[in-house]
Amino acid sequence: MHVGVISDTHDNLDVVSSAVDLFAAEADTVIHCGDFVAPFSVTPFDDDFEFYAVRGNNDGEWMLHETIQSFGTDLGEMGELTLDDQSFAVYHGTSQPIVDALVACGSYEYVLHGHTHQRVHEEVDGTVRINPGGIAITPDSGGDPPAGVIIDTESGEVTFHDLK
């Protein structure tokens, strides 16, 4: 199974569109780690893949839940998924101690989060932590370019795709 991961889209529809194109071609399931900001940033993800999302600290729009639920699954502030016999913890990442605890607990093969807008791909005692970075990064703000991530649950391969 190929799982797409993205976070911190912050209403950037050009990059969201590139991400949806990537995921439509390469992913069976897509997980958004929060900070859509507004419902119009959610609707492009209504495609031919399963869709899951958690809330980020900038997701205060009251229609966001209903928009996600119209075609996907809103996991709330944090969620657990089992995909292709692999366990996933999904959290926006607002609290680094919570991210660290999810990784350290050893209950998950993957811990997915966002919030910091910095790409992370590391393995700690058998748990893979992934932060795809933030789509909202601008050229003058530093950091990595916007990315969509594809996880191959069979091989364990994790690929970051720059989105332009």
pTM, rounded to two decimals: 0.95
**What's the topology of domain 2-162?**
Purple Acid Phosphatase; chain A, domain 2 (3.60.21)
Residue spans of the domains in the chain: they are 2-162
Q: Are strands 2-6 and 119-124 parallel, antiparallel or unpaired?
A: unpaired
Q: What is the pLDDT along the chain (164 residues), one digit of tens a residue?
A: 999 999 999 999 998 999 999 999 999 999 999 999 999 999 999 999 999 999 999 998 879 999 999 999 999 999 999 999 999 999 999 999 999 999 999 999 999 999 998 999 999 999 999 999 987 655 555 667 789 999 999 999 999 999 87
